[in-house]
Chain A
Amino acid sequence: GAVVSQHPSWVICKSGTSVKIECRSLDFQATTMFWYRQFPKQSLMLMATSNEGSKATYEQGVEKDKFLINHASLTLSTLTVTSAHPEDSSFYICSANRQDGYTFGSGTRLTVV
């Protein structure tokens, strides 16, 4: 089936630094990818929709200058958490919708210290 590869699976960074998370569609082209965030014991919350070759669409309340999304190719979308702070610590998950449905990456656990 369709595979979405997410990297890294976990990262620890210092407060004030930036972290980039990659999401790749391995066996299909994804013109649209979705980025979610999940806090402990909570459900997934959609952050933004990443569109290949154009600007991402952010959900209400998500700071676009803090969460930079780049979707420069049909197989790669990146999420950069800029100037990370401890409150940005979370589980970040990407997703893409192929012809046979939505598939999700394995997630990235971000811890900001």
Chain B
Amino acid sequence: DAKTTQPTSMDCAEGRAANLPCNHSTISGNEYVYWYRQIHSQGPQYIIHGLKNNETNEMASLIITEDRKSSTLILPHATLRDTAVYYCIVGGSGGSNYKLTFGKGTLLTVNP
């Protein structure tokens, strides 16, 4: 079973920030939080990941609560091309053989 829960769908206006929540209350101390997105008929695209500190890259920001039981992915200025299914996943460190288990994800629809 997936170790994360996410809302099934969300809407966002183009140009506004999209905030996607994720609960991972059973995460253990050495597990990372990964975010991917998938556009129809393509492989998942990496967005960002983190252990306990907040992270930011050119695509998004990841805010992890202090107890690490939940996180929020922030797309600062959503565009129509950001419409996709977003997956929040708990995984191992880089290079490990830890298996990623996907939940159902959140379908983000960015509206003009």
Interface size class of chain A, counting residues whose CB lies under 8 Å from the partner chain: 20 to 34
At the interface, yes or no: B21 with Cβ under 8 Å from chain A? no
**Which of A51, A95, A97, A103 contacts B96 (CB under 8 A)?**
A97
* Contact in complex: B43, A104 (CB < 8 Å): yes
Selected interface stretch from B10-18, B72-80, B100-108: B100-108
- A-B contact number at CB 8 A: 62
* Contact in complex: A43, B34 (CB < 8 Å): no
Main secondary structure of the interface of A (DSSP, over half): strand
B2's nearest neighbour on chain A, judged by CB, is A43
* Contact in complex: A99, B94 (CB < 8 Å): yes
Chain B residues contacting A44 (CB-CB under 8 Å) are 44, 102
Interface size class of chain B, counting residues whose CB lies under 8 Å from the partner chain: 20 to 34
Chain B residues contacting A101 (CB-CB under 8 Å) are 34, 46, 49, 91, 94
* Contact in complex: B91, A106 (CB < 8 Å): no
Min distance, Cβ A104 to any Cβ of chain B, angstroms = 4
B34-59 near A? 1/0 per residue, CB < 8 Å = 10100001111110010000000000
**Which of A32, A43, A97, A103 contacts B102 (CB under 8 A)?**
A43
Residue ranges of A at the interface with B (Cβ–Cβ < 8 Å)? 1, 6, 31-32, 34, 36, 43-46, 49, 51, 91, 93, 95, 97-107, 109
